[in-house]
Amino acid sequence: MQNRPEALYLDLLKKTLTYALWPEPPHPVDVYKGADLTIREKALAALYKLLSSFNGDIEVVKKTSIYPEHRENGMFWPANADTMVGLKRLDNLQDCIETVLKEGIEGDLIETGVWRGGACILMRAVLAAHRVKDRRVFVADSFKGLPEPDPKQYPADKWSNLHSMRYLKVTKDEVMNNFKKYGLLDEQVIFLEGWFKDSLLGAPINKLAVLRLDGDMFGSTIEVLNILYPKLARGGFCIIDDYALEPCRKAVDDYRKEHGIASGLVPIDWTGKYWRKE
């Protein structure tokens, strides 16, 4: 029932997490890219630095043309939202969690690659809305952005420059504060700090019901699948945020092929896909 208080709460939360209730503000010129600034952007960034050295209150911003469908589909990097995944992928996450609750599929929930934490905040909120006390939400991130590519180990990541993007570096304190803002930081939320290859190996995870991957790169996807997919319960959901990104797609396709995973990939939007473990 869509007008039950729990459903209304989760609906409002998703709109808040994605900043869908407000117009997108102009974007600061220098934070969205790393080494790839155009000459014009470099000039604007230099101007910004110069102006802010005179007066710390000055910021150089540029107008955006963001429409509701961009926000629905998570098609841009937002200024203020607590998640960049968009409403359709949040709806999918809620559906997956509510399905495992309804069907009694055993296990905790995890997102690997959380940025400002919005998708994990929704995970915790769905548990709260359904008064679930015996499942945990794992929040896994370096909390310092993406790793430098290691083309020897992972040739598919050769061209990645995501590690240079300041915008993608969000500290653990910021993410904890975001949970606090929504009143959802408690003992059911477990932070796993570090590179996935290190932090996930010794993590206190027995069984997972929902495994959500959002690490963008080949290495950050294959490492998570190798370590955590065996812990996903039968009937559990494996959600891939970045299937439209070639390195991520290759990691997913390689893993599924190597392990003979036959259950089909279900599209969520232009990039998100999921499958259920058989």
Ligand X SMILES: C[S@@+](CC[C@H](N)C(=O)[O-])C[C@H]1O[C@@H](n2cnc3c(N)ncnc32)[C@H](O)[C@@H]1O
Tokens 């911003």 correspond to 61
Per-residue mark of binding to ligand X, 187-226 (x: CB under 6 A):
--------xx-----------------xxxx--x------
Contacts for 166-171: CB closer than 8 Å, 24+ residues apart: 166/31, 166/34, 167/31, 167/32, 167/33, 167/77, 168/115, 169/143, 169/144, 169/145, 170/114, 170/115, 170/116, 170/117, 170/141, 170/143, 171/143, 171/144
Positions in 147-166 near ligand X (CB under 6 A): 147
Q: By C-beta, is 128 or 217 nearer to ligand X? A: 217
CB of residue 53 vs ligand X: minimum separation in angstroms?
Answer: 29
- Is the Cβ of residue 30 or residue 242 nearer to ligand X in the bound state? 242
Helix residue spans in 78-157 (DSSP H): 86-103, 118-129
Q: Can residue 73 be called a binding residue for ligand X (CB under 6 A)?
A: no
Q: Which stretch binds ligand X (CB under 6 A): 23-31, 43-51, 144-152, 260-268?
A: 144-152
* CB nearer ligand X, residue 146 or residue 211: 146
d(CA 214, CA 201): 18
Residues 84-123 that bind ligand X (CB under 6 A): 84-85, 111, 113-115, 118-119
Strand spans (E) along the chain? 27-28, 61-62, 108-112, 137-141, 189-193, 208-213, 232-240, 266-267, 273-276
Comparison of 98 and 174: residue with beta carbon closer to ligand X: 174
d(C-alpha 270, C-alpha 273), whole Å: 9
Q: Which is nearer to ligand X, 30 or 214 (CB)?
A: 214
Residue 30 touches ligand X, criterion: CB under 6 A? no
Stretch binding ligand X (CB under 6 A), from 77-85, 225-233, 243-251, 254-262: 77-85
Instruction: Report CA 23 to chain centroid distance, whole Å.
Output: 22
* The only residue of 30, 108, 141, 157 in contact with ligand X, by rule CB under 6 A: 141
Continuous segment of H or E residues that includes residue 225: helix 218-228
Nearest to 18 by CA among 62, 94, 70: 70
Q: Give the one residue of 13, 29, 76, 83 binding ligand X; rule: CB under 6 A.
A: 83
- # binding residues, ligand X (CB under 6 A): 23
Smallest gap from Cβ 215 to ligand X, in A, equals 4
> Which residue from 107, 145, 149, 272 is in contact with ligand X, where contact means CB under 6 A?
145
198 or 258, CB closer to ligand X? Answer: 198
List the beta bridge partners of residue 240: 213, 273
Q: Does 126 bind ligand X (CB under 6 A)?
A: no
Is the CB of residue 267 less than 8 Å from the CB of residue 180?
no
Cα 143 to its chain centre, rounded Å, is: 12
List contacts with ligand X (CB under 6 A): 83-85, 111, 113-115, 118-119, 141-142, 145-147, 168, 170, 195-196, 214-217, 220
